Amino acid sequence: MRVITGSARGTKLQAPAGENTRPTTDRVKEAIFSMIQFDIEGRTVLDLFAGSGQMAIEALSRGASKATLIDSSRDVVNIIIENAKKTRTFDRCRISCSDYGSFLKGAAGREKYDLVFLDPPYASGYISKALRGLSEGGMLAAGSHIICETENTIPPKAKTMRKDESVAKSYILNDIFGGNEQLMSKFEILRSSLYSHTRITILSPVTE
């Protein structure tokens, strides 16, 4: 696991041990940052299930102005701190040991973000709850991008199914919005792509 490009290019990052974290692969990370490469410079970042911190650190390496990284494990937070110091991005980081729900409640009405990374444990249902908290708390800047990472259960050989937009919308509704169509209506789906066992979906809040 490494920083792909920018000021910290090539720096190897430490990954948390155990089964509770699932670092984004370099291939998927590279795909994500190719999608948002023109929406990083000077932006404010939130990594709500930070793990190693690699997504926020990559954004900072590419020119984001500052980042807030949240994780509920003290051991994991210590690794984030080490990685931030190693990549010389620590001075632009706010790193907090907190569960995502408590953080969102405390930051509602006080914080706004341009880039949000949501990569909780698969099948946890946390993404829909996080999106609701971000939306209701007024924490999404106009034109912000929310990058959601979920599990892809469509077999690689099911090519027709993988390309079917109605199938994709059904998976997004269930996996990202918890089946809540009202919540889904608050966001525009900018893009949704499959990478092996991973689906990457990029959202933006609908301007009312």
pLDDT tens column, 120-155: 988 788 999 999 999 999 999 999 999 999 998 887
Q: Which residue has the tokens 């408590």?
A: 102
- Full-model pTM: 0.93
User: For residues 8 and 142, what is the distance between their CA atoms, to the nearest angstrom?
Assistant: 29
pLDDT of 19 strictly over 50: no
Q: Are 105 and 133 in contact (CB under 8 A)?
A: yes
Q: Which of 48-62, 137-151, 160-174, 179-193 has the lowest mean pLDDT?
A: 160-174
pLDDT tier, 113 (very low <50, low <70, confident <90, very high otherwise): very high
The yes/no answer on whether domain 26-205 falls in CATH 3.40.50.150 is yes
List strands edge to edge, sheet with 66-71.
93-97, 66-71, 44-47, 113-118, 140-151, 198-205, 187-195
Query: Cβ neighbours of residue 123 under 8 Å, at least 6 residues apart?
Result: 151
In order of 67, 77, 131, the CA distances from 145 in angstroms are 14, 24, 12
pLDDT of 193 strictly over 50: yes
